[in-house]
Amino acid sequence: MVAVATNRPSCAAAAFARGRSLPVAELSQRSFASAEERDIAMRDFFRRQHVQLVIDAGYDRIHTRPFLDAFEGRIINVHPSLLPMFAGGMDAIEQALESGLKFTGATVHVVTAELDGGPILLQDSVPIVDGDTVETLRARVHEVEHRILPEGVRIMEATLADRSSIR
């Protein structure tokens, strides 16, 4: 990890970065006239920090073209469902619980302009059990997210290393 950008300055990733004296950009949407302006600021911050791979973990905003274009093929996201189920929103766990399904899960995928539609790197399932609440199911989904996200990062690092060795 070389830097953290967040729209929530009190998030765990920002605290982690500050504790290690890593650069942190606080990019609350209220500070910008548009999402595109926010993304340009984040793009420029990451470029100054020489970021090679962007990891959206808990980031609850949709990237715009300036950011997507700058880091094309180098942004991954962890989503709290087995995509393509319950794509496109922040309420995937609630949707899964209300769906009547017996399972849900988490997905690590490459971010593209198609919301939650990029190539899937990893998925793992979580049972939905009788008596589950949003909180109990969210806790189990988060356990899976915390396990598969580092593996997704390793996959992307290897992919990016392969790409650079071909050039």
**Is 142 among the residues known to form the active site?**
no
> Which residues, in sequence order, are CB contacts of 10 under 8 Å at separation 6+?
none
- Crossing angle, helix 92-99 and helix 134-166, to 10 degrees? 120
User: Contact at 8 Å (CB) between 97 and 128?
Assistant: yes
Residue 30, Cβ density class (10 Å: 0-12 exposed, 13-18 middle, ≥19 buried) = exposed
Dist. CA 63–CA 167, nearest whole Å = 28
Closest CA to 7 of 26, 30, 24: 26
Dist. CA 71–CA 74, nearest whole Å = 5
Catalytic residue among 79, 109, 142, 146: 79
The single residue listed with the structure tokens 């598969």 is 148
Which residues have a catalytic role annotated? 79
